[in-house]
Amino acid sequence: MNHLGAVLAGLLLAHLLLGPEVQAQQAATGTSASASPRATPAEYRLAAGDVVRIVVFQNADLTLETRITEAGAVSYPLLGAVQLGGLSVTEAEKRVANGLRDGNFVKNPQVTMVVLQVRGNQVSVLGQVNRPGRYPLEVADMRLTEVLATAGGVANSGSDLVIVSGTRSSQPFRAVVDLPTLFAAPGTVQDLILAHGDTVWVDRQPIVYIYGEVQRPGPMRLERDLTLLQALATGGGLTQRGTDKGIRVHRKGADGKVQVIEPALSENLREGDVVFVRESLF
């Protein structure tokens, strides 16, 4: 075997030996030498209430600005009622162009459609956000985080949990999304794609109350995994007369009855807990 043949044989052997490791690495990272290109984003689908402008090149008399009716149609010159609801803009342009061509109204129509107002695909964002209201789904596959950003984000008084309710496949749909988990570990929790008619609800952040011998008594946010010791620190610490001995927590049980407990300083507080710091006897 000549020198070139030896080199080629060595390369082939190395490829065979490293092949399984490379395949395993590709499987772990989700990559491949023949990886398919990224999927093309879906187009926005027209819906009842949307306002569109239709223009036909070199046919100014066929320009129309109109609203899609509840039946999903528009009344277009020469064609009458044209069903556009549920179509993408590209599909709607083709439908109008085909109607003009098939009816021998325009020999080679070049149709352009622009969505002026999105009224048909909307979601409601309510609760503890900076700008609650109804917002259009201006693009297809619009996600929860995008809609929250449009609404100005979660307010300071808002909870970490966001509830999304609506319908999917004609069935009631409800999902609870933990925002910190969503951002802390991308890919482990799905950033929901919203649909027309969905309601996004951001509840008020859970509250605990502290009173007695603390510097700043009153309500405070129940941060995640907040301990009794951390609550005392948030309240400014004890007064000169206060003591961390015998701190009592009034807690409502599952049966609705209030129980009085004396937890350890390292124990986590729960929503609605009322912490009482006693005065030192000495």
Q: Residues 179-226: pLDDT tens digits?
A: 888 877 665 567 899 998 999 999 999 999 999 999 999 999 998 899
pLDDT (0 to 100) of residue 176:
93
Q: Is the pLDDT of residue 228 over 90?
A: yes
State the sign of the Cα–Cα–Cα–Cα dihedral 83, 87, 89, 95: negative
Among the residue ranges 30-39, 41-50, 124-133, the one predicted with the least confidence is: 30-39
Q: What does the block give as tokens for 43?
A: 């187009």
Q: Is the pLDDT of residue 3 over 80?
A: no
Share of the chain above pLDDT 70, in %: 83
Q: How far apart are CA 282 and CA 280, in angstroms?
A: 5
Q: What is the mean pLDDT of residues 43-50?
A: 88
- Minimal CA–CA distance to 48: which of 122, 134, 119, 113? 119
Q: Which CATH number fits domain 122-204: 3.40.30.10, 3.10.560.10, 3.90.550.10, 3.30.1330.60?
A: 3.10.560.10
Q: Does pTM top 0.75 for this prediction?
A: no
Query: Nearest 5°: CA angle at 108, between 104 and 114?
Result: 105
List helix spans (H) across the chain.
Answer: 3-29, 89-102, 144-150, 179-184, 228-234
Q: Enter the DSSP assignment of 245.
A: T
Q: What is the mean pLDDT of residues 118-132?
A: 93
**CA distance readout (Å), 41 to 32, 89, 139, 190:** 22, 14, 9, 17
Q: Is the pLDDT of residue 129 over 80?
A: yes
Q: What does the block give as tokens for 202?
A: 């951001």
Among the residue ranges 1-15, 35-49, 136-150, 157-171, the one predicted with the least confidence is: 1-15
Exposed, middle or buried: residue 44 (CB in 10 Å: 0-12, 13-18, 19+)? buried
Q: How far apart are CA 66 and CA 52, in angstroms?
A: 6
Q: What does the block give as tokens for 41?
A: 């984003």
Q: How far apart are CA 104 and CA 157, in angstroms?
A: 62
Q: What does the block give as tokens for 169?
A: 């496949």
Indicate where the chain has its CATH 3.10.560.10 domain(s): 122-204, 207-277
Q: Is the pLDDT of residue 4 over 80?
A: no
pLDDT band with cut points at 50, 70 and 90 for residue 138: confident
Among the residue ranges 74-83, 112-121, 182-191, 258-267, the one predicted with the least confidence is: 182-191
pLDDT (0 to 100) of residue 186:
61
Q: Is the pLDDT of residue 99 over 90?
A: yes
Could you tell me the fold of the domain covering 207-277? Outer membrane lipoprotein wza fold like (3.10.560)
Q: How far apart are CA 173 and CA 198, in angstroms?
A: 9
Exposed, middle or buried: residue 237 (CB in 10 Å: 0-12, 13-18, 19+)? middle
pLDDT band with cut points at 50, 70 and 90 for residue 52: very high
Q: Residue-wise over 143-170: b if at least 16 C-beta within 10 A, else e?
A: ebbbbbebbeebbeebbbbbbbebeeee
Could you tell me the fold of the domain covering 51-117? wza like fold (3.30.1950)
pLDDT (0 to 100) of residue 41:
63
Q: Is the pLDDT of residue 50 over 70?
A: yes
